[in-house]
A = this chain, B = another copy of it.
């Protein structure tokens, strides 16, 4: 089957398939004499595996590891379990973050009924002014290595005060 047929079979676009090949998530397929990629049923299975994992929000690297784990049938599957549980944990953090954000925004929105002028808009005021009223520790992050980017105690070295 051609790349287009593989795409139809799996619901993955041809450009994405080529991308997966480039990053070595999919093996290089055979080629026709004219250079077309020729795929086989095992490619369909592998790509479906990838697609489902991605739909579950696993990163490409996680998928890569799962694929590698899956290739050794005798290996204990504890690592697989761990990987999935870690991702659930990440999701919990992310969901919690978003819920906090939502709460803050809702409080913001509730302070405004949209009828006034910008000059007395509570939303804009809140964004301009107080520090503590909104947005607790919730920062939308996206990456896992999100730790303490808001580490305000980070003072590299006490320079010889060049004040403001």
Residues in chain A within 8 A of chain B (CB atoms): 1-2, 5, 9, 11, 45, 48-49, 52-53, 55-57, 66, 69-70, 72-78, 80-82, 84-85, 87-88, 91-92, 94-95, 98-99, 101-102, 104-106, 108-109, 112-121, 123-124, 127-128, 134-135, 138-140, 142, 150, 152, 162-164
Contacts and interface: CB of A to CB of B under 8 A. Distances in A.
A53 B117 contact: no
A127 to B, nearest CB: 5
A128 B49 contact: yes
A56 B87 contact: no
Contacts of A1: 164
A72 B134 contact: no
Contact of A56 (B11, B78, B84, B101): B101
A101 to B, nearest CB: 5
